[in-house]
Amino acid sequence: MAGCNQPVAAAVAFDMHLKHGLCIGVRIPAEDEAVLALSREALLPEEARYAERLAPLVRRTWIGGRVALREVFGRMGIDAPPVMPNDRGAPGVPIGIAASITHKAGLAVALAARESSAHVGVDLELDVSRAHDIARRVLTADELEEVAPLAPTERTREVLLRFSAKEAIYKALDPFVRRFVGFQEVAVRPCPDGSGAVQAALTRGEGPFAIDVTWRRFDGVVLTTARVVPRLLSS
């Protein structure tokens, strides 16, 4: 209970060593006072002070993401300085570290890896039907043809998976291209083994990049990760 001078620990929902790094999900408290207590306990003072200036809804997810990232850093043995937003709004992590944050409903997720030339991205989506069909907004013409034969429920889940994979890819691409990448610039074909084939056709000609994506479904969510590296540096 907030205000009782007891340590407030992050409620870890999952802890996974994935292909693209260590990924941890934490549950965000429902009450604002509990969120602030978690911030004061789990974040560095500069991070906590920054969070207190944010609007309540933004503050809740910002704190959740930073708490998840601090959990990852702690388990990786990384003594990182305050992680403030960089000029692109992403977590400003130390050189030699690639990291990404995502959140959905009451869950915040962070992914981090020791990387010298690559960047990573993570996305989390609730694995539920949507009120509106987003396929034409987020899929390329070829992707629309690929999902067209699927039964309605399977098609909805496939569209959501591709959307999530693209979100993770865009986060990993952003440090290189430093711009918004449209949904028509990347196509993803998920594979049954949790990998995916990615085809990029960036409209401004950036790259080429080696883009790797992974996905998994569990506990009612879809979790996707991406790793992007200039192709000349890819192993």
Residue range 167-203, pLDDT digits in tens: 999 999 999 999 999 999 999 999 999 999 999 999 9
Give pTM, 2 decimals: 0.93
pLDDT above 90: percentage of residues in the chain: 91
Tokens found for residue 71: 């959990």
Are residues 118 and 140 in contact, defined by beta-carbon separation less than 8 angstroms? Answer: no
Q: For residue 65, give the 3-state DSSP assignment.
A: helix
CATH 3.90.470.20 in the chain, residues?
11-116, 121-233
In 53-206, where does DSSP find H-type helix?
56-76, 135-138, 141-147, 152-177
Beta strand residue intervals within the chain, DSSP E: 11-18, 21-27, 97-104, 107-114, 119-126, 186-190, 196-200, 209-218, 221-230
Closest CA to 166 of 93, 231, 228: 228
Q: What is the pLDDT of residues 61-111, one digit of tens each?
A: 999 999 999 999 999 999 999 999 999 999 999 999 999 999 998 999 999
For domain 121-233, the question of CATH label 3.40.50.700 is answered with: no
Is the model's pLDDT at 234 over the cut of 50? yes
Residue 88 identity (one-letter amino acid): R
Look up residue 61 and give its two tokens.
């997810």
> Above 60 in pLDDT, residue 144?
yes
Q: Which class would CATH give 11-116?
A: alpha beta
Average pLDDT, the chain: 94
Strands 209-218 and 221-230: antiparallel
